Each structure stands twice: as structure tokens, then as C-alpha cells.
């Protein structure tokens, strides 16, 4: 009989534990690099799989699809895209200070072009990856663990001989934390590590004599050198970087600004965005000195050319680019890595210290393994040398034996039973033999050619070398100074192979200040069509085409005079006021289309429509009358909308299912009364003196009582002697025929 074992547990506790387990899995197994080898699991597994496939630097390239498929099937079952992406990034010289993969084919570009599909590209390991990352895997330097389905074994970490965490940097997003480590110059970091090995009490200031700061593959300039010490001390901070801009002589006496190095953060789509931002600066009249911008980058490197007008100030334009575009940017530093199985933020000294400890660990394991092999080798060699001295006896034993086991027993234990000897003295000599089992097996496997005099001399020479190796390995294992000397020599050898000059300059620079030239204030005409495409035209063009503009309601739905330095306010039915600067609008010809207001504000044409468009200076200096679809009304002082920082503000509060219906700038000479017309045919006329002035956030007062399904259809403003007529039910109706009453009435039904 099976009995149920029901465990009662709090649901929130189970959810908390499951979420923590998931978060730690993402942190440790996916997103954060290990401080020892500076690699994420997907990178480590990809490199190891390439090594297992034999894709060495002197071998032919292999299809990336094969590499990705093999890695995914054996070690990393998280999808092919993450594997291929890591493979691509490890091959890109503009992202990695020390690329680890030699890619063949289209592996993307610095301008953001993606790599070709994995079926088209090929790859193999770089020589430095073989020598520095994978070389000693066969010497028990690191632990091997089962893969995800326990059918293969993989290294828990690679025996990397350089501080790859600092040299190549890393970026990753885990659950609740991120890592962002900038790349550094390999020579500087290796020299800093050597200095730490020589002096464990070395200070951060002394380490920074070697590691001046990050060294980005794209070059550029770090502008806040004084803040680097705090960043390297805490492992967090913000590095300000800017591109390098040079001046060159252009055509017709012009000056060109040429960008040859970009900030590291501009890699990818950032270059296209920068070009777009420069164009926006010209269109928004931030500067009139830029004539053209072109991207002339090629295989030789980055080259973005900005042509300037004659007599322009290149330094001022350069400051404009630094202050208004991503040519000057910040790199957020958070040097987070997995240390002893847990995430930890490390400073420069801690990062180097952890890797040095790892170096001693892998070298201790390496030389322990080598010592064991050399001792076994020496043992065999000693047996063979002894065998050569009594080879006649051994041959006699072989000839007198019937089985291999008899010979082994005789060589190891001196047992001569069953072995026939020609000379009785030989039996006594054979009984005195005491070889080990391994020595005896090596003797039996020895070829007769090894008995040549030169071969015996070579064997003794090899034995002498083996004894020297044993002595050397024991010295390294027993003396920390000897081990340190060996590690320093290894680092010197690697440093020669990775020798490269620093690319990124470091200094302290003031924040770029752009002196904006004052714009000469003139009158222009704001024009917007019924679809919301806006532009400005100059006054002479407006005067010449005034009649055309007045008669074309579709293309010139809204038009009025405004200062070129002024602003335009657009009120919508949703109760929003969108403010647009005239300087952001293009100066256009009469029939040019203009720019949709959606692009210059938060206006959403799918949800809003225009109620009133006007000059903000006029709006601010007057009173406005607000009317909603449900008949709510109020006066609002225009100063309520005198805001300078926001492009969009709420201009009123609306009740449920209500919307703005009409807005008017109040004119006390003509606007003395108001006539409201409803959809159901009710008319109500009353004095505007009954409407109070409210704040913009107020709902207002009811101007007209409306039925449940009724709403306003029209609003007419008039004075006491207004003789205007309106067309209603195909007949003319004078406005004054509607009786003057009080507000908040149902009005008169007109049939």
C-alpha cells in the first residue's frame, strides 16, 4: 500500500527559492564572466569545442555552423544564436583588445553591419588562444566537470595565463545585476601583474603607474583621468570618452573636421545615429556652419568628414559635436565577476590579485603533473639502463621461458621456476633480479635496435635530462620564489607576442562648451496642413501668395505670423498642449510638405486631433475660453501655459468620456456673448460674464445642460449688436433670434 507524503509549504517561500535559484543560474552559468579566465560559459565552451575539433591556427578554417552545432550539442544547450554571437564578438578586433577567434568571411563591421549567417562563415583559433588559453589543459591544470547530460566532460575554467577579465573586458546583463568592464592594454596589464607578483604589498597608485586607464580598440580620448583612481578602487564609476577630431583643409579654402577615432560606445548603430544627429543640428538651426557630413570610412579605418563654411570656428563646432552628439559619451563601469562561485565587484588590485592566485594554482597543478610524469619516465629509464647492462641474461631468460608471465615474474620477483638456463650461474643471477613491473614491461617492449651503442648513450642522456627536469620541477613546487620566476618568464614571453601600443589617450578636459550664435529675430509665417505637416515660410513668400494660402484650406489649414525664435502651441481634443519651437521647423518653399508634428512632439495622430493652433506669445499674454463636448466652460489665464522645459503639458482636466471641443483667445470687444448649439438642435445664448476664470487643471462650469446622448455641435461668439446668420436646416437663421438667457440651461429647440 502506497501512502501519500504531503509536504505543506508556504507558496511565497517556494517562489522566492525558485527565483533565487534561477537568478544565480543566470549569473553564474550565463551572463557574468569568471575572474580566473575572464570568460562567460558560452565563450569558454566555444573555445574548448574548437580546440577539440582541432581548429588550430595553422589548420584550415571550419564552417561556423559546424562549430556552433557541436558546441550546442555537447556543452551549451541554450540556442545557436548565443553561441554564434559570442563566436562573432570574439573575432571582432574593434570590440576585443585581444581577439581569440580568427574569422574568415563577413563577421560584421564597426558601423553595425551584422555578421553573415553561420553557414557562410568559417573560423579557427588564434595562435594566442592556443598558447595562452588552451595550452595546458592536458596537464591537469583545471578541473573537468560533466556536461549538461553527463555524456562529455568540459573544463570548469580555462588555464588562461593573462588577466583576460581586464584585457578584453566584458558586458553582460543578469538578474538584478550587470557587468561592464572596459578593455585594457595587454602590455600594461601584464606588467602590472608582474609588479604585483614581485611585491604583494604594491599599492593602487603604484599599479596605476602601469595601468594608466582603459584602452579601447576604437581609440578615442578619456577626459576624466582624475576619476580613474576611484573607479579602480571601487570597481564602479563612469568613464567619459570622446572621439578624436582633426582639422584638414578642404576645397575652396574651407576647413573640414575629420573624425578618425570614435568613442567605444559608438560601435554599431551609433555611427549612423551620429550622422543623423549632425543633420538634425543643421535642420534645427543649432548651427549654420556645417555644409555637409559624409562617412568615408573604409578598411583603413574610421573617417567621418564634416565640411564647414568659410570663416567658421572649428573649435566651436567641435564643442558643439561633443556637447550635442554621442561623439562624447560615458562608459559605465561595473567590474562584476564570478569569484569562488559568487558574483563580486572588484577593483583593479583585487582583479589582479585573484588572477595571480589562479596563476599559482594552475602552475602548481601543472608542475605536479609534469613531475609525476618525469618520475615515472625516470623510473622506466633506470630499468632500461639496468637492462642494457645485463642484456645477455635477459635474452637467456627470454629464450628459456615459455610464457610472457614467466619472464615478468622472473624480472620482478627473481622466480626462475620453469625457465631453462644454459649456464647454472645464469639462474643464480636471474634470481637476484628485482625490476618493478613497469620496468619489466618496458624491457619486454624494448626493440633490439635500442641495444646499439649510440642508442644506449642517447638513453643515458635522456635520463640525465629527466633527472634535471625532476630537480627543476621539485624546486618550483617547493620554492615560491622559483615558481614566481617561472611565472614572470611566461608572462614576459606572452607580453612579447601581445605587444601593442596604447590606442586611447588619457587626460583631464573641461566639459565642452558650445557658444551658440544669437539668431536674428524676424517675422515668419507658421503653416500647417490638415494632416499635421508643419513648416515656416518667410514673409515675402507669404505676401506674394496670400490669396492662394487663404483659398487652400487643405494645404494651409492653419497659418499665422510668429517670431522665428518663438513657439507654437497645439491644443488637442485630449486636453494636451504640444509646444514646438519655430527654430526646429524647416524654412520651406510654398508647396514643400514640411515635418509632421508627431516627430517634434508627443502628438499622437491615431488618438488626437487639433482643436486650436496659435502663437505661444499671443496665448500667454491673453485669456483663453475653453469649451468641452459636454458643454463645460471656463476662462484660463494664458500665463498658466508659460512653461519652457516641457514639449507637452496638460492644458485642462476632462471628465470621463469628455473631450475638448473649442478653444478661443478672448477678445473683449467682440466676445461678449456665446451661442452654444447641440447635436439635438438645442440653442442656448448667454453672456460670457457668467463664465468664471479657472486654473488650467480645473474642469470648469457647465455652460449648457445636454441630454445623455447629446453633445455640442457648434460654438459662436458674438457681441450685443451682432447680425450674423448661420445656415441651419437649409435656411438662414440670425444668431440674435435665439433668446438671451442664463447659462446652465437646456436652451431652445429649433426645428
Q: Which residues have a catalytic role annotated?
A: 120
CA distance 653 to 640: 13
CB 64 within 8 A of CB 21: no
Relative to beta strand 567-572, strand 610-615 is: antiparallel
CB 180 within 8 A of CB 173: no
Relative to beta strand 221-222, strand 505-506 is: parallel
CA distance 131 to 19: 40
CA distance 552 to 395: 119
CB 258 within 8 A of CB 301: no
Helix (H) or strand (E) holding 355: helix 348-389
Residues 6+ apart with CB under 8 A from 490: 161
Tell me the DSSP string of 361-427: HHHHHHHHHHHHHHHHHHHHHHHHHHHHHTHHHHHHHHHH-SSHHHHHHHHHH---TT---SSHHHH
Q: What is the DSSP letter of 644?
A: S
CA distance 597 to 78: 45
**The three three-digit cell numbers of residue 83, written as one number:** 553561441
CA distance 438 to 629: 103
Q: The cell 518653399 sits on which residue? A: 589
Name the burial class of residue 657, with classes exposed (0-12), middle (13-18) and buried (19+) by CB atoms within 10 angstroms of its CB. exposed
Q: What is the DSSP letter of 52?
A: H
Q: The cell 563591421 sits on which residue? A: 109
**The three three-digit cell numbers of residue 174, written as one number:** 543578469
CB 372 within 8 A of CB 379: no
Q: Reduced to 3 states, what is the DSSP secondary structure of residue 183?
A: coil
CA distance 629 to 643: 26
CA distance 582 to 565: 6
| β partners of residue 633 | 627, 701
| β partners of residue 727 | 732
Distance of CA 612 to the CA centre of its chain: 43
| Burial 114-137, CB ≥16 within 10 A → b, else e | ebeebeebbbbbbebbbbbbbbbb
CA distance 286 to 644: 18
Residues 6+ apart with CB under 8 A from 188: 210, 211, 212, 215, 502
CB 170 within 8 A of CB 335: no
**The three three-digit cell numbers of residue 413, written as one number:** 620477483
3-state secondary structure 228-288: HHHHHHHCEEEEEEECEEEEEECHHHCEEEEEEECCHHHCCCHHHHHHHHHHHHHHCCCCC
Neighbours of 142 (CB within 10 A): 21
CA distance 139 to 169: 27
Question: CA 669 → CA 2, 433, 616, 724, distances in Å?
Answer: 96, 133, 21, 16
Amino acid at each position: 500500500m502506497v501512502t501519500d507524503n504531503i509536504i505543506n509549504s508556504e507558496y511565497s517561500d517556494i517562489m522566492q527559492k525558485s527565483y533565487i535559484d534561477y537568478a544565480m543560474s543566470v549569473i553564474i552559468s550565463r551572463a557574468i564572466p569568471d575572474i580566473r579566465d575572464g570568460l562567460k560559459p558560452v565563450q569558454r565552451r566555444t573555445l574548448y569545442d574548437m580546440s577539440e575539433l582541432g581548429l588550430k591556427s595553422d589548420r584550415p578554417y571550419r564552417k561556423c555552423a559546424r562549430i556552433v552545432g557541436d558546441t550546442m550539442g555537447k556543452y551549451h544547450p541554450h540556442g545557436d544564436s548565443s553561441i554564434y554571437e559570442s563566436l562573432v564578438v570574439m573575432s571582432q578586433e574593434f570590440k576585443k583588445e585581444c581577439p581569440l577567434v580568427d574569422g574568415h568571411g563577413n563577421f560584421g563591421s564597426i558601423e553595425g553591419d551584422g555578421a553573415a549567417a553561420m553557414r557562410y562563415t568559417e573560423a579557427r583559433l588564434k595562435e594566442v588562444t592556443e598558447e595562452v588559453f588552451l595550452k595546458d589543459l592536458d596537464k591537469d591544470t583545471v578541473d573537468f566537470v560533466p556536461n549538461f547530460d553527463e555524456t562529455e566532460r568540459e573544463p570548469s575554467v580555462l588555464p588562461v595565463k593573462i588577466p583576460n577579465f581586464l584585457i578584453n573586458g566584458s558586458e553582460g546583463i543578469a538578474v538584478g545585476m550587470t557587468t561592464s568592464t572596459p578593455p585594457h592594454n595587454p602590455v600594461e596589464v601584464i606588467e602590472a601583474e608582474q609588479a604585483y607578483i614581485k611585491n604583494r604589498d604594491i599599492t593602487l597608485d603604484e599599479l596605476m603607474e602601469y595601468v594608466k586607464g582603459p584602452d579601447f580598440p576604437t581609440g578615442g580620448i578619456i577626459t576624466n583621468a582624475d576619476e580613474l583612481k576611484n573607479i579602480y578602487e571601487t570597481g564602479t564609476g563612469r568613464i567619459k570618452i570622446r572621439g578624436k577630431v582633426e582639422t584638414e583643409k578642404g576645397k575652396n579654402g574651407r576647413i573640414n573636421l575629420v573624425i578618425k577615432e570614435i568613442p567605444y560606445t559608438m560601435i554599431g548603430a551609433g555611427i549612423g545615429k551620429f550622422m543623423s544627429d549632425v543633420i538634425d543640428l543643421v535642420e534645427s538651426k543649432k548651427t549654420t556652419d556645417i555644409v555637409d557630413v559624409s562617412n568615408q570610412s573604409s578598411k583603413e579605418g574610421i573617417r567621418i568628414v564634416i565640411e564647414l563654411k568659410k570663416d567658421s570656428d572649428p573649435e566651436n563646432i567641435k564643442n558643439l559635436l561633443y556637447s550635442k552628439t554621442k561623439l562624447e559619451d560615458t562608459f559605465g563601469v561595473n567590474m562584476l565577476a564570478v569569484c569562488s562561485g559568487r558574483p563580486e565587484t572588484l577593483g583593479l588590485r583585487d582583479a589582479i590579485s585573484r588572477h595571480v592566485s589562479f596563476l599559482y594554482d594552475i602552475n602548481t597543478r601543472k608542475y605536479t603533473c609534469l613531475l609525476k610524469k618525469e618520475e615515472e619516465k625516470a623510473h622506466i629509464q633506470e630499468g632500461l639502463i639496468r637492462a642494457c647492462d645485463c642484456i645477455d641474461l635477459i635474452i637467456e631468460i627470454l629464450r628459456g621461458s615459455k610464457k610472457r608471465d614467466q619472464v615478468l615474474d622472473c624480472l620482478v620477483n627473481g622466480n626462475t621456476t620453469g625457465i631453462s638456463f644454459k649456464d647454472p650461474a645464469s639462474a643464480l643471477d636471474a634470481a637476484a633480479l628485482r625490476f618493478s613491473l613497469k620496468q619489466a614491461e618496458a624491457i619486454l617492449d624494448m626493440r633490439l635496435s635500442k641495444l646499439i651503442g649510440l642508442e644506449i648513450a642517447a638513453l643515458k642522456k635522456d635520463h640525465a635530462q629527466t633527472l634535471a627536469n625532476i630537480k627543476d620541477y621539485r624546486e618550483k613546487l617547493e620554492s615560491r620564489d622559483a615558481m614566481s620566476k617561472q611565472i614572470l618568464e611566461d608572462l614576459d614571453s606572452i607580453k612579447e607576442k601581445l605587444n601593442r601600443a596604447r590606442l586611447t589617450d588619457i587626460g583631464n578636459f573641461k566639459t565642452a562648451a558650445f557658444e551658440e550664435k544669437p539668431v536674428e529675430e524676424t517675422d515668419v509665417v507658421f503653416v500647417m496642413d490638415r494632416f499635421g505637416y508643419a513648416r515656416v515660410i518667410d514673409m515675402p513668400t507669404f505676401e506674394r501668395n496670400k490669396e492662394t494660402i487663404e483659398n487652400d484650406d487643405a494645404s494651409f489649414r492653419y497659418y499665422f505670423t510668429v517670431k522665428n525664435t518663438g513657439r507654437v502651441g497645439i491644443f488637442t481634443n485630449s486636453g494636451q498642449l504640444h509646444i514646438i519651437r519655430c527654430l526646429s521647423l524647416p524654412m520651406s518653399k510654398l508647396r514643400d510638405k514640411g515635418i509632421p508634428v508627431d516627430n517634434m512632439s508627443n502628438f499622437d495622430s491615431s488618438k488626437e486631433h487639433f482643436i486650436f493652433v496659435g502663437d505661444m506669445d499671443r496665448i500667454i499674454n491673453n485669456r483663453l475660453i475653453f469649451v468641452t463636448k459636454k458643454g463645460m466652460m471656463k476662462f484660463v489665464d494664458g500665463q498658466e501655459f508659460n512653461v519652457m522645459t516641457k514639449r507637452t503639458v496638460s492644458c485642462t482636466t476632462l471628465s470621463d468620456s469628455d473631450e475638448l471641443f473649442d478653444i478661443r483667445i478672448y477678445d473683449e470687444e467682440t466676445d461678449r456673448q456665446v451661442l452654444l448649439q447641440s447635436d439635438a438642435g438645442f440653442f442656448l445664448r448667454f453672456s460670457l460674464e457668467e463664465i468664471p476664470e479657472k486654473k488650467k487643471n480645473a474642469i470648469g462650469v457647465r455652460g449648457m445642460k445636454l441630454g445623455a446622448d447629446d453633445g455640442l455641435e457648434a460654438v459662436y461668439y458674438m457681441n450685443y449688436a451682432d447680425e450674423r446668420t448661420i445656415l441651419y436646416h437649409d435656411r438662414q437663421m440670425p444668431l440674435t433670434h435665439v433668446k438671451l438667457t442664463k447659462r446652465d440651461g437646456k436652451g431652445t429647440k429649433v426645428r
